[in-house]
Amino acid sequence: MKTSIKTLLATALTALVLSSAAFTTFANDTTKRKTVAAKNMNVSMVVVTGDVDVYLIQSDKEDIKVVPFSDGEIDIDFKKSGAKLLINNAGNNRATIYVYLKDLKRIDASNTAKVKTQGDFNLEALQIFLKDDAKANVNVNTKSLYTVIKDQSNLKLSGTSGDHQLVKAELATLKMHNFHSAKTKTNILKPTLAANRK
């Protein structure tokens, strides 16, 4: 029994060392796959597609960490385009991605992507765009919040905003848990308008 535990621990440590050695950094605007550690990304917009869970954390040190759900092969595409970080799960195996960033101006999620903030985000302004079956759980303190939720997407909001502009399709879900806005303007999209604005 002790031998098998020692073997298991040795295997786990070897896998950890090998995965740490596989880390790469962003170089210009190129596409990266699988496990990525990104220093000094300078991104403020996160675009997420595919079957993936993304956790956003406000931090002085920018970084990306990928945790697969299972032992299967993961095929995550990362691309930096200007201030945008594009994350797409092109494979069949779901993964969890932790993105540490200094500033956040926009979250854009589609397909079956899930985006969640961890801790408090203190921002000047934030835009959130959800469509398809995407889900987002966002805790933010901001002066200005603009949200567009289409199709059957789902948004949970907490925190505060001085001004909140909401564009919502009829089938989309919005839950506001401990969220307060000094001023809110709501525009409900009818099905034909929602289809035209895709």
72 lies in some domain = yes
140 lies in some domain = yes
Task: Look at the pTM and tell me if it is higher than 0.95.
Answer: no
Q: Angle CA(96)–CA(99)–CA(101) in degrees, nearest 5?
A: 170
Residue 197 confidence (pLDDT): 52
Distance from C-alpha of 165 to C-alpha of 27, rounded to nearest angstrom: 36
- Check: CB of residue 80 under 8 Å from CB of residue 41: yes
Q: Tell me the residue ranges of DSSP E strands in the chain.
A: 31-33, 45-50, 52-58, 63-68, 76-81, 84-89, 95-101, 106-109, 114-118, 121-130, 135-149, 154-169, 173-189
Distance from C-alpha of 47 to C-alpha of 126, rounded to nearest angstrom: 14
Q: What range defines the domain where residue 143 resides?
A: 23-196
Question: What's the total number of domains in the chain?
Answer: 1
Residue with tokens 């969220």: 179
- Check: CB of residue 152 under 8 Å from CB of residue 135: no
- Check: CB of residue 97 under 8 Å from CB of residue 109: no
Residue 90 confidence (pLDDT): 80
138 lies in some domain = yes
Tell me: the pLDDT tens digits for 112-169?
999 999 998 999 999 999 999 999 999 999 999 999 999 999 999 999 999 999 999 9
3 lies in some domain = no
